[in-house]
A and B are shown apart, each in its own frame.
Chain A
Amino acid sequence: YLYNNRYAGNQVIRVTPNKLNDTETLKNLFDKFQVDLWHPNSPSSIREGAAVDLHVPRNASKIFRSHLHQAKIHYKVLIANLQKEIEKQAGYRSSRKRR
């Protein structure tokens, strides 16, 4: 596996904070969970109505989503398994090697 399969089960989630306290809740969650912000790239740039894309590790994604549920913050899973996407991105490359 590429990168020693370290991204297996990791997810990319799109959260859309609609209210001011949504953004505060989200920032508090960032302190609690080790998430990797994909867009925007700084918590200080998060604002209501603008999508936030974040990469959540496998062992945190379930509980992270349950926190979003409790706070009634809308979210969508953009990438359900990052490792698979990484393998796909490199897919052509490995076939090239074979060639």
Chain B
Amino acid sequence: SDSSYDYEVYHSLEEIQSWMHEMNKTHPSFIRLFSIGQSFERRPLYVLQLGKKSQHYKKAVWIDCGVHAREWIGPAFCQWFVKEALHSYNTDPVTRRLLNQFYFYIMPVLNVDGYHFSWTTDRFWRKTRSKISRYQCRGVDANRNWKVKWCEEGASSHPCSETYCGPFPESEPEVKAVANFLRKHKKRVKAYISIHAYAQMLLYPYSYKYATIPNFDCVESAAHNAVLALYSAYGVRYQYGPASTTLYLSSGSSMDWAYRNGIPYAFAFELRDTGYFGFLLPEFLINPTCTETMRAVKTLALNLLKKC
């Protein structure tokens, strides 16, 4: 049950999926579980709709975790977000306001096949698990497979590369399912957030060019406020800014696709750390990492309620 589920350890895909079913069952007025499709290996792609259920039109925020299989802190954060939001609805006015005014679409594991493979076979697997004809290597980088400047600089067209863009945009069923969902709910989704690891950064478009986005002032101030909120928890400093200059040039990423498809606020978090444990962030760091990131995400969501 929710109360005995341990949010401070890493969970296998099966445990995460049964947790989602449990949360759906035990919080009917806040949670709706649904699937947006199937992965390459025919696993369901589950999403939780989190928010006070209402008959009225509600804006939405999308949060996906686990795009890259080895970045385990991502799925841990998505679960943490759901738990904290539900537990603080009655005690925290900010949470109450957010859950009353928004639906949050939470996808704890986007790359379900890769995540499962990282638990059973290769801890440092990154990509999906699709088969590539004529090549022994498997998998596409699910963050290079989106139809925006697809497969240009910062991506590779070689199937054995870790940043392989795939045979064509949205070739990965996991990516296509999310893109279809966001296209379908385009009018309602006002913010897209993708959770990654290992750089301690908050990034916004563009990744694929060194230009400035049209609503730069609003996005920059939202990001600034978010990293301030994150810092307030444990004093951990995050860099923030356009991905192309703050991290590196990369094409075909989900954040750029979301922004180009009309979602005005698109971010990618790179959570802890910056090179001590790397992808092997220990479980005792789940709590502080998720606590600080929760503050940042709530600040970003609150920003949507302001006029800018």
Contact = CB atoms under 8 A, between A and B. Distances in A.
Contacts, number: 72
B283 A93 contact: yes
A7 B76 CA distance: 23
A85 B284 CA distance: 13
Interface of B: 6, 9-10, 121-124, 126, 141, 153-156, 161-163, 198-199, 247-250, 275-284
Nearest to A7: B123
Contact of A55 (B124, B141, B276, B281): B124
B123 A88 contact: no
B154 A42 contact: yes
Given A3-B123, A53-B278, A45 B154 contact: yes
Contacts of B124: 36, 38, 55
Nearest to A55: B124
A3 B275 contact: no
A42 B280 contact: no
B282 A79 contact: no
A85 B277 contact: yes
Is chain A's interface secondary structure helix, strand, loop, or mixed overall?
Answer: mixed
A12 interface: yes
25 contacts: A2-B123, A3-B123, A14-B275, A36-B124, A38-B279, A39-B278, A41-B126, A41-B163, A42-B156, A42-B161, A42-B162, A42-B163, A42-B248, A44-B154, A47-B248, A79-B278, A86-B123, A88-B280, A88-B282, A89-B10, A89-B277, A89-B283, A90-B10, A92-B9, A93-B10
Interface of A: 2-3, 7, 12, 14, 36-42, 44-45, 47, 51, 53, 55, 78-79, 82, 85-86, 88-90, 92-93, 96
Most buried by B among A44, A86, A93: A44
Given A3-B121, A47-B248, 12 more contacts: A3-B122, A36-B124, A36-B162, A39-B278, A41-B163, A53-B275, A53-B278, A78-B275, A86-B280, A92-B284, A96-B6, A96-B9
Given A39-B199, A42-B154, A42-B162, A89 B280 contact: yes
Nearest to B163: A42
**Closest A-B pairs by Cβ, 8 of them:** A45-B248, A42-B163, A85-B280, A92-B283, A89-B280, A40-B248, A89-B282, A53-B275
Contacts of A44: 153-154, 156
A12 B278 contact: yes
Nearest to B122: A3
Nearest to A14: B275
Contacts of B121: 3
A12 to B, nearest CB: 6
B125 to A, nearest CB: 10
Given A37-B162, A45-B248, A93 B9 contact: yes
A78 B275 CA distance: 7
A30 B139 CA distance: 20
A51 B250 CA distance: 17
A47 B244 CA distance: 13
A94 to B, nearest CB: 11
Contacts of B6: 96
Given A38-B198, A85-B280, A51 B9 contact: no
Contact of A51 (B161, B275, B279): B275
B5 to A, nearest CB: 12
Nearest to B285: A89
A42 B9 contact: no
Contacts of B163: 41-42
A88 B280 CA distance: 9
Contacts of B279: 38
Contact of A45 (B249, B280, B284): B249
